[in-house]
Amino acid sequence: MTAAVRAVGLTKSYGAGPSAVRVFSGLSFELQEGEFVAVVGPSGSGKSTLLHLLAGIDEPDSGEVEISGVALSRLDAASRARLRNTTIGFVFQFHHLLPEFSALENVSLPLRIAGVPRGEAMQRAREALGRVGLGDRGEHRPAELSGGELQRAAVARAVIAKPRLLFADEPTGNLDSDNARAVFDLLRALHGEGGGTVVLVTHDRDLAARCDKIFTMSAEGVRSLDV
């Protein structure tokens, strides 16, 4: 069976020469379709870097990443961008909503980039906002939304194109405990509805324990634990 995500022998450093910082070396990581997993580990262990490599946002120094059997190294920049837009959803720790656009316009952006007509994209954005409990907030700009609402809008944007893969990088890191649980519950519910594969980077061990599997990153690499 082809893995949803497969990484083999990833090495990544930042900088060059004697001042270069090695993030990790020889890291391997594999997920099957439909898994909802947490990636945990101390700060600096490379959790966010791993997500960026898996999503094709960044490139490894060596090693390979495959998405459903497709090696990212064999794709040019335009093909990787299309893959991200059609196959991968990404939720960042900071919502990254564009301040000059309404929530509705922000959520519709992945579809507009994919060439979906504006009317259809906006209608699907309304539906997506409704699914995350923001059906009455679509015309509001980011400055008019609370922290929890901003992150729910970011989740709606990430899932509007129904991606097979969802990467969430500390999506609850800037939220209070109640909103953190609400955003996690939302990710769980959306995963239950649409299936797909979810990778959640988190420092919250309680949330990690509610995932199907935990991957722990350290200087020795990655080890997995079924919850």
Confidence of residue 221 (pLDDT cuts 50, 70, 90): low
pLDDT the model gives residue 220: 56
User: Which amino acid would we find at residue 75?
Assistant: L
* Tens digit of each residue's pLDDT (9 = 90 or more) over 91-116: 887 778 899 999 999 999 989 988 89
Predicted TM-score (pTM) of this structure: 0.84
* Tens digit of each residue's pLDDT (9 = 90 or more) over 144-158: 998 889 988 988 898
pLDDT the model gives residue 98: 92
Confidence of residue 159 (pLDDT cuts 50, 70, 90): confident
The partner residues of 88 in beta bridges, in order of sequence, read 165
**Candidate from 63-72, 113-122, 186-195 with smallest mean pLDDT:** 186-195
Q: Round the average pLDDT of the chain to a whole number and report it.
A: 85
Instruction: Name the CA dihedral angle for 147, 210, 30, 35, rounded to a multiple of 10 degrees.
Output: -90
What share of the chain in percent tops pLDDT 70?
95
* Tens digit of each residue's pLDDT (9 = 90 or more) over 37-68: 999 888 777 888 888 898 888 889 899 999 88
* pLDDT tops 90 at residue 206: no
Confidence of residue 123 (pLDDT cuts 50, 70, 90): very high
CATH class of 34-59+78-226: alpha beta
Burial 59-76 (b: 16+ CB within 10 A, else e): ebeebebbbeeeebeeee
Please enumerate, as own/partner, the contacts of 133-142 that have beta carbons within 8 Å and a separation of 24 or more.
133/186, 134/103, 137/103, 138/102, 138/103, 138/104, 138/107, 139/102, 139/103, 139/104, 140/102, 140/103, 141/99, 141/100, 141/101, 141/102, 141/103, 142/95, 142/97, 142/98, 142/99, 142/103, 142/106
Confidence of residue 143 (pLDDT cuts 50, 70, 90): very high
pLDDT the model gives residue 227: 44
User: Which amino acid would we find at residue 108?
Assistant: S
Residue range 109-136: mean pLDDT, rounded = 90
Residue range 163-177: mean pLDDT, rounded = 83
CA gap 139, 142 in Å, rounded: 10
* pLDDT tops 90 at residue 89: no
